[in-house]
Amino acid sequence: MFSFSNISSYHSELQAASFTCVEAVEFYLENIRKQQHLNAFVHVFEAESLERAQQLDCRRGNKEATGRLHGVVIAIKDVICYKDHTVTAASGILKGFKSLFNATVVQRLLDEDAIIIGICNCDEFAMGSTNENSVYGATKNALNETKVPGGSSGGSAVAVQAGMCMVSLGSDTGGSVRQPADFCGIIGLKPSYGTISRHGLIAYASSFDQIGIFGKNVDDLRHILSVINGMDDHDSTVAQFPARVFPSSPAKKTIRFASFQNAIGHSSLDPEIAEGIKDIAKKLVQAGHKLNNIDFGLIDFIVPTYYILSTAEASSNLSRYDGVRYGYRSTSGNKDLATFYKKSRSEGFGKEVKRRIMLGTFVLSEGYYDAYFTKAQQVRNILKQQTEKIFSANDIIIMPTVPTTAFTQGAAAGDPVSIYLADIYTVYANLTGIPAISVPLFKHSNGMPFGLQLLSKRFDEAILLDCATMLMQNYSSN
C-alpha cells in the first residue's frame, strides 16, 4: 500500500517496486476527492497526471534515466503559468484564460519528471491573508474547518497539509507562503529575491514577488529548490549565477542567532507564541549557540512601507487587465471606451483587489508621490542597510511568523486593517529580499499550530535549511 514520508524514500521504494507512480497518483487523487469540501484545488488533472505516471513507470521499467523529481506529485498555485492549462489568479477578470507557455519553474519541474496534479486556490491576484478573496470561494483549514488556512497561498498549503500532494508551490509577496505554512502546521520557504525565476508568475508586486515551496520535511524543500533555482534568460531580475544544489548537511556547531526584542515584545503578539519562541531561544543558548538581542527600531515602519510600495506596484501591474486583450469583458451599457474599461475592471476584480489598486493609485498620484512612495523607498533602503549590518555579526534572525494562530473564517471582512497589520513579521523579508522559512515547532493551547520564522542573509538558503532541520529534529513539540 502506498504511503509517503519524503522524496528520497519514495524514490527508493519506486526502485524496489514497492509501488508505482500510478499508485501514488491514484492515492492523491482519492485524497483530493475525499477532501473536496476544503476547496484547496480549483483544477485537478486526473487523466493527465495518470497518463504521465504511466509513462514514467514505463521509462523506469525500461531502465531509462530518470529525473531528480521522478514521479514526485506536485500542486501549483493559480498564479503560475502551465501551458494549455487555465490560470486565473483566482479572479473573475481572467475567467477561462489558458496559459500560452510554461513558467520557468513549471518547465524545470517537468524536465525532471515531476507530475503536476492540479492548480490550487488562492486569494485573488495573491492579495490576502486568509484565502477568502477568491472567485472560487474560500479554502478551509484541514485542522479546523472554522479557521482560515492563511493566504494568499492557502490552497497550496492545505494541499500539502491534508495529504493531497507531496509538495506544492506558492508565491510569497509579503508572507503568502510562510503565513499559511504557519497556520497549517507545515514548512514554508520563501527563497531570496532572485533565487527563482519569476517568468510565468502572474505579477502582484514585481520587486517583492518570489515563488516559494511548501512541504512537510526540510529535505523535500531542498530537492525542489535545487531543481527550480538558477539563471533564466526570461527574467532579468533573477540572480546571475548558476543553479545551486542544497544537500543535507549538519548545521554549524555554533550558530549566531539574533532576536528582535521589540518583535518578541510587540503588543500584537499572542503571549503563548511569545513564550514558545523565548523558550526555544533559551534552549539554543543552553545548547551552545549564541543569541544577540537587538532593538530593531524600524519595526513599526515595516507594514506601512510594504503596503505603500506593494500596492503602488500592483496598481501598475494590474492596469493590463482592461477587458480588451483577454479575460473578462463587460457587455452592458458601454457608451464609450472609458465606460467599457471602468465596467470591465469593476465587475471583473474582487473587492480586496480593487481596494489595493485604489491605494496604489493614490500613493502614485501627483502631490502624494513624494510624500508616500518616495519616503517608503527611502525606508526600504534603510532597512536593507541595517539588515546587512545585522548579518555581518549574525547568521540567523529568529522571530514569530504571525502574531496569532489561524484566524476564524470571516474575521477579515469585519476588520481588514487588522489583517494587514498581522503581516508585521513576514513582510520584512520581502522588503529586504532575504530568504525566510517558517518551521512548525509548536502547538497552541487552542489546538492550532504555530511556527518559528528563520531569516538569513541574501542567497544563504543553505544555512536556513540546515538550521530548520536542526530545530525540527531537536525542538519540535508537535
Can you spell out the DSSP letters for 133-192? S-TT-----TT-TTB---SSSHHHHHHHHTTSSSEEEEEESSSTTHHHHHHHTSEEEEPP
Q: What is the distance between the alpha carbons of residues 92 and 431, in angstroms, rounded to a whole number?
A: 29
Sign, Cα dihedral of 13, 14, 16, 22: positive
Given 49, 77, 168, 216, the catalytic residue? 77
**pLDDT tens column, 421-430:** 899 999 999 9
**pLDDT tens column, 381-394:** 999 999 999 999 99
C-alpha cell at 309: 510600495
- The model's pTM: 0.97
Whether 331 shows a pLDDT value over 90: the answer reads: no
Q: What is the distance between the alpha carbons of residues 425 and 179, in angstroms, rounded to a whole number?
A: 9
pLDDT at 381: 98
Q: What is the distance between the alpha carbons of residues 244 and 194, in angstroms, rounded to a whole number?
A: 13
**Which secondary-structure segment (H or E) carries 167?**
strand 167-172
Strands 167-172 and 73-77: parallel
Residue 351: which residues within 8 A CB-CB, separation 6 or more?
133
pLDDT at 27: 98
Given 176, 192, 315, 438, the catalytic residue? 176
Segment 150-164 shows an average pLDDT of 98
For the question of residue 77 being annotated catalytic, the response is yes
pLDDT bracket for residue 478 (50, 70, 90): low
Whether 24 shows a pLDDT value over 90: the answer reads: yes
Whether 270 shows a pLDDT value over 80: the answer reads: yes
pLDDT bracket for residue 326 (50, 70, 90): confident
**Residue 437 contacts residue 464 (beta carbons within 8 Å):** yes
CA dihedral 282→283→286→288, nearest 10 degrees, is -110
For the question of residue 18 being annotated catalytic, the response is no
Q: What is the distance between the alpha carbons of residues 292 and 397, in angstroms, rounded to a whole number?
A: 9
Given 49, 152, 168, 192, the catalytic residue? 152
C-alpha cell at 402: 504571525
Q: How many residues does the chain have?
A: 478
pLDDT bracket for residue 9 (50, 70, 90): very high
For the question of residue 438 being annotated catalytic, the response is no
Describe the crossing of helices 218-228 and 7-15 by its angle, rounded to 10 degrees. 80
Q: What is the distance between the alpha carbons of residues 30 and 25, in angstroms, rounded to a whole number?
A: 9
Segment 162-185 shows an average pLDDT of 98
Q: What is the distance between the alpha carbons of residues 348 and 298, in angstroms, rounded to a whole number?
A: 38
Whether 128 shows a pLDDT value over 70: the answer reads: yes
High-pLDDT (> 90) share of the chain, %: 91
